[in-house]
Chains A and B, each alone.
Chain A
């Protein structure tokens, strides 16, 4: 009985927390529960959730990607710069491709240069940020009049903003991938025991490249959505977002030690952070306190995660 209770708590704790925080916020400020505010909360959650979903794959495989913020910026800039020449749909595809390529390079550095993911992506975080700034010459890119690009963020389907569809769609897709496909099983196996995975015939390098390519693509999508909200892109876009992306995964209950993943958890983790930020806004709490709150939330989630067996030193071990 006690065991099933712990199990239930483990799988649904984030859901319970989301509900409680929701109730508390709606009591504190009635504006919180308004339809437009809730959609706003969910849209903001989606921005981080999308790259967080990709990140969930990386963490499930026992890896990490710190370069997602820079990748998001580079993809936004590349995509924006190409709109005049190749049009909106193709430039979005180009942005996604740029993200995937950055991710693929991350993977290559990890497997071929044998650098731990943590270090490899930390280096790439700075490199890609530099590339984005060089590419834009440090200037802002605007898309005046190209409202077509707004389809990524400002459009509605059945009254619901598109980013929410992207987040939920990607969660469903990756949730299926991780639980039902061979690729997903390989990811979990690698996160569980890498050397046993190699001995089971899993092409570990190829799986890793694929994981990081997907992380890159989801980061790119997040970056393009963020850019499209204001129809502006620049090399400083989404800096610092990588920590939020990791935080939502951890909050969602995916073990940092790898071998296990929950996409729904990641969605809810993103929702929680977005709700807290929004609530603090509505309560007129200065923005600095919001940063502090997210930091505390992340530390709290990490502490719970570590108590379940994660060894922080594993971050610095060579992976593949």
Chain B
């Protein structure tokens, strides 16, 4: 860094010029860093929003370049431009130093850029091979050469050391396996640049490690990887360089080893984030007792006792049964139990309607598929469960609906321009707060939270944590299922660790550490 120009000596536009000269100088002096992809002054306007503002970015062959930022920082816009889905409003796009324009995703793919979106582009009913070779199936006499296709698919998978039969349909694979198939497809396309958007969002801890290994090995094979993630821990594990975006602007790009989590968070949100252990919880009466809960194939003899003012964490890898317990209690799965008592009353758990009436609140683990009503307004998304209470003769009292929605909007600090704004126009964090608001409006006594901060930026995450603290202080009982260990440690005063459908152990106090939870969760 000794040659870096001093900041503050020159006006900004001059600085940008100097910086660029210096960057060029730097790359020329280190010939090994050969830049595959470079964007300069990348700008994208949407009506009323500047999603990307003069962003510079470059990717070298053989590096993992992480892009981090809160929701709304411009990451998705940038990915979509790289993928050819969106066109930039201004800015230059260079591939191997030559200007290039992508009119559509096919152009980007042709140029060797493969984007793995959060929602995969796989066709569920087709086999792994067919997905890998889609649109480029090897043919023989005009017909698909199945033998060679399966063989080549097998090779592609082997290259990633993945043990998947290329003949099975993609729909039979786990999320993690599907992701690997996406990577295999990118490689089969001879991608030189692979962009991964939140690749670990749906993966278990073990699968994440495996994925990160693969990402590193891709880089060793001279592929340039752009790794977009919320999870800073992973970013530090895998990235060579890190770029931070905030509010559509480029904040900094630096070598990962010179940064740390604190610096990163500060740059992302413009403030520091409180981490750590859960505050002291004052426990009250027992509100929920579950004896010997069984869910076919996924949960065996699980008993739970939950008190007022308590956050009981349910930890475990995907498929461990932790999430299934929550879903069963809310009536989303066929389950039996010797006894389920909520506030002294026996509880029937056959459908969500009954669960809500028994005053169980639920925030689903995937708000997009199971929570949001995208066509409805913010207000209507909050009030959907309490319409009966807002009834006047045989219609909805719109004044009272507005009032109720406003109460919870304020309580949860949902930021919006109006209560009538469409929910899909809000950021992920605000949407998640609306999911909480809906459950709270139903006046629940026990809150079932599944992955309450999935796909939520760091700032909103901190807000949601302190909200849960507040709720619990006022006597709410929370059952928290999360696959993020720091989250469990931060919120829960007691944790049940699941594996293979059984609760292995309860941890509290000193015993309750990330390491201990992990050790139990991975023990089969």
Contact = CB atoms under 8 A, between A and B. Distances in A.
Interface residues of A, number: 26
Most buried by B among A181, A188, A196, A203: A196
Contacts, number: 82
A258 B374 CA distance: 11
Contact of A199 (B370, B375, B387, B391): B370
A150 interface: no
A199 B396 contact: no
B48 A3 contact: yes
B382 to A, nearest CB: 10
Interface in B34-53: 47-48
B356 interface: yes
Contact of B387 (A185, A193, A260): A185
Interface in B343-373: 351-353, 355-357, 362, 364, 369-373
A180 interface: yes
A10 interface: no
B385 A192 contact: no
A2 B370 CA distance: 33
B493 interface: no
A201 B375 contact: no
Given A181-B395, A201-B385, A259 B371 contact: no
B370 A181 contact: no
Given A200-B385, A201-B353, A259 B375 contact: yes
B419 interface: no
Contacts of B164: none
Given A192-B374, A259-B374, A199 B380 contact: no
A2 B45 CA distance: 14
Nearest to B356: A201
B352 A196 contact: no
A130 to B, nearest CB: 34
A195 B375 CA distance: 14
A197 interface: yes
B101 to A, nearest CB: 24
Contacts of A198: 351-352
B511 interface: no
Contact of B396 (A185, A189, A200): A185
Contacts of B438: 200
Interface residues of B, number: 32
B384 interface: yes
Contact of B373 (A2, A176, A196, A201): A196
B395 A260 contact: no
Contacts of B380: 185, 188-189
Interface in B395-437: 395-396, 398
A259 B47 contact: no
Interface string A282-314: 000000000000000000000000000000000
A189 B395 contact: no
A182 interface: yes
Contact of B371 (A176, A196, A203, A255): A196
A92 interface: no
B375 A188 contact: yes
A176 B394 CA distance: 11
Given A199-B364, A201-B356, A180 B395 contact: yes
A202 interface: yes
B396 A196 contact: no
Contacts of A258: 375
A320 B430 CA distance: 29
Interface in A175-226: 176, 180-182, 185-186, 188-189, 191-193, 195-203
A200 B364 CA distance: 10
Contacts of A196: 364, 369-373
B384 A195 contact: no
A145 B388 CA distance: 50
Contacts of B391: 182
B501 to A, nearest CB: 23
Given A3-B47, A180-B396, A195 B370 contact: yes
Nearest to A180: B395
Contacts of A195: 369-370
Contacts of A3: 47-48
Most buried by A among B332, B394, B442: B394
B376 A188 contact: yes
B330 interface: yes
B387 A182 contact: yes
Interface string A153-178: 00000000000000000000000100
A20 B204 CA distance: 59
A189 B374 CA distance: 9
Contacts of B372: 193, 196
B446 to A, nearest CB: 15
B332 A197 contact: no
Contacts of A185: 376, 380, 384, 387, 396
A2 B385 CA distance: 36
Given A199-B371, A200-B438, A182 B388 contact: yes
Given A182-B387, A182-B388, A201 B47 contact: no
B396 A259 contact: no
A260 B438 CA distance: 21
B50 to A, nearest CB: 15
Contact of B352 (A2, A180, A181, A201): A201
Interface of B: 47-48, 330, 332, 351-353, 355-357, 362, 364, 369-376, 380, 384-385, 387-388, 391, 394-396, 398, 438, 442
Which 4 pairs show the lowest CB-CB distances between chains A and B? A259-B375, A192-B375, A201-B356, A192-B373
20 contacts: A3-B48, A182-B388, A185-B376, A185-B384, A186-B387, A188-B376, A188-B380, A189-B380, A192-B375, A192-B376, A193-B370, A196-B370, A198-B352, A199-B332, A200-B385, A200-B438, A201-B352, A201-B442, A259-B376, A260-B375
Interface of A: 2-3, 176, 180-182, 185-186, 188-189, 191-193, 195-203, 255, 258-260
Given A192-B373, A203-B353, 17 more contacts: A182-B387, A182-B388, A185-B376, A188-B376, A189-B373, A189-B376, A189-B380, A192-B375, A192-B376, A193-B371, A196-B371, A196-B373, A199-B362, A199-B364, A199-B371, A200-B385, A202-B353
